[in-house]
Amino acid sequence: MVKSLYLRKFCKIFRGAAIILLFLLDSYFGFSQNINDNIRFDRISSENIKLEKGLSQNSVRAILQDSKKFMWFGTWDGLNRFDGYNFIIYKPNTKQSSSCLSNETINSIFEDKDGFIWIGTEKGLNKFDRKSHKFTQYRKNTNAFYGISSDTVWTITEDTKGYIWVGTQSGLNRFDKKTEKFDVFLNIPFNNNSIVNNTILSLCMDNNGYLLIGTLGGIDKFDLANWKIKHYFSKEGEGNLSSDTILNIVKSKNGNIWIGTRNGLNYLNVKTGKFSVYKNKPKDKWSLSSNIVTTILEDSKGKIWVGTIGGGLNLFDQKSGRFTNFINQTNDESSLSNNDITSIYEDANGVIWVGTSRGVNKIDLNAAKFMHYYHYADDDNSLSNNMIWGIFVDSKEQIWISTDDGINIFNPVSQKFSFIRNNKNNNNSLASNT
């Protein structure tokens, strides 16, 4: 009676010598409440690769894959180009000062429609020509009327007309590639049609031709057709922006906008103009791991990756509203290398690259990874038998497995098995182990 009661709960019965295969990576979420154990991070850093072949420095602040499939990494100490095997490192060169990189501290990397690589540094904007392997520098010059407004370049993008937009420490710049001139946009006190703050940390073109500008004083929505600017500020109450310190703006596939701030992750519905806010809740393990959101990626499968300071990497499931957190695990080389995330990028092959304060991490989501559970005669915490008849997940997310040697109950948190077997001396036990 007890046996039939249990077996009726199993939703699928199958025969044959089998092992339990938990295929977690394809859907990102599976039986385990912590899938950290099921995704491996391949690390690329100057510590575990010889220096002459590795990154110039471990703090990776910007990542790009160009149209030629080269990976570019911007660090505190140089620009790195990676072909999958070797690195080429670009740094300032006093002997070739005008045709080399202007500064070794890289803040942003962008490829335009013509194939030029643009690099924002602490000392100027740079354009890299891959044919000549030379850089063109654009530096602040107080004597130049159409020059760039600041040497500290934080972010770069391009509009539909081919203008390059540059966010700096002191203003927004529009660069005309034909005339080689900059138009500068600054905050003008008491002028609501000027940008709200001169420190521009993120730029994003939306689906309607608006330029979204992330600043230290809120978000500006710049209509490039009529030169009108709309402002978004943080306010108390539901549906409002959670912070005026905007660290990252990313367009989603549905046209809505993800925003990383110093006080949570925000999601802007462009039709309603309302914000949904996600924050860390200390007593909720499924909440955002840290409120300082530095970088966001919506990957080709529609999953949302969120990088934070101090809280590692988060994978957000919009349907369930749950965040799964990936952090550095001491002495685990397959875990995230560092919990300060500076950049996230997906390449053409679906590989996720994660820049941290301690190297680059690579996640190949196309490489299926399985967890295997077998019966081992000398291991009391292994499966009781390799002949599997059915699997069922209960309301507590415990996994019930019927075998040729009783019922196994697997706890995905503790990774331990408990067993229900026939006991000849107990009439209330399982009627049979098979």
Query: What is the structure's pLDDT at 44?
Result: 63
Query: What is the structure's pLDDT at 388?
Result: 77
Least confident residue range of 17-26, 123-132, 173-182, 211-220: 17-26
pLDDT in tens, 209-220: 999 999 999 999
Query: What is the structure's pLDDT at 204?
Result: 98
Burial (CB count <10 Å: 0-12, 13-18, 19+), residue 200: buried
pLDDT(97) > 90: no
d(CA 291, CA 399): 33
Q: How confident is the model at residue 385 (pLDDT cuts 50, 70, 90)?
A: confident
Global pTM value: 0.76
Query: What is the structure's pLDDT at 371?
Result: 56
For residue 281, how many other CB atoms are within 10 A of its CB? 10
Query: What is the structure's pLDDT at 358?
Result: 83
d(CA 118, CA 178): 16
Q: Tell me which of 322 and 46 has the higher pLDDT.
A: 322
Q: How confident is the model at residue 325 (pLDDT cuts 50, 70, 90)?
A: very high
Least confident residue range of 150-154, 156-160, 395-399: 395-399
User: Is 2.130.10.10 the CATH classification of the domain at 38-367?
Assistant: yes
Q: How confident is the model at residue 370 (pLDDT cuts 50, 70, 90)?
A: very low
Least confident residue range of 15-24, 235-244, 268-277: 15-24
Query: What is the structure's pLDDT at 134?
Result: 94
Burial (CB count <10 Å: 0-12, 13-18, 19+), residue 409: middle
Q: Domain limits of the chain?
A: 2-19+374-420, 38-367
pLDDT in tens, 14-59: 333 333 333 333 333 333 334 444 566 777 654 444 334 588 988 8
- Per-residue pLDDT, averaged over 114-135, amounts to 96
Q: How confident is the model at residue 5 (pLDDT cuts 50, 70, 90)?
A: very low
